[in-house]
A = this chain, B = another copy of it.
């Protein structure tokens, strides 16, 4: 089981990035996105609408605090300050919770997680880091979705099953 936690969501300012985080989580095999920060029903709706149309059993849930979520899970915080994920990822086992920031991540997160891992030690994007990490974690074996909308891979256009 793979779940994702998005820290410190701010209404309006983070809506698009947080939506990308959630949709990447879903597309690359996570089953749930938790988020802290400001509860945002628009955010939840835009994610749920994609699930309704494209399928899968993906959920989004607001939580006040991340502390309870860490229990019983292997918690991986993706941060550019962390160890190289390429060297550590094989140690990541069990029920996995992947944590991504947030403009400012509390110091306690760094100390309470099982792994602080970097997808390159360069500044880029929690969306990009999450996508690459999930891709490696799942060995690029992507989940099959059976939604109302099913895209048919096409060389030159937009086709549907």
Using a CB–CB cutoff of 8 Å, the interface residues on chain A facing chain B are 16-17, 20, 23-24, 26-28, 50, 54, 80-84, 86, 110-111, 115-116, 118-125, 127-132, 135-136, 140, 142, 145, 150-159
Contact = CB atoms under 8 A, between A and B. Distances in A.
A23 B151 contact: no
24 contacts: A16-B16, A16-B17, A20-B124, A20-B127, A23-B122, A23-B123, A24-B128, A28-B128, A54-B122, A81-B153, A81-B158, A82-B153, A86-B140, A116-B156, A119-B131, A120-B142, A121-B151, A122-B151, A125-B131, A127-B131, A128-B128, A128-B130, A135-B135, A136-B140
Contacts of A84: 153
Contacts of A150: 121
A157 B110 contact: yes
A102 to B, nearest CB: 13
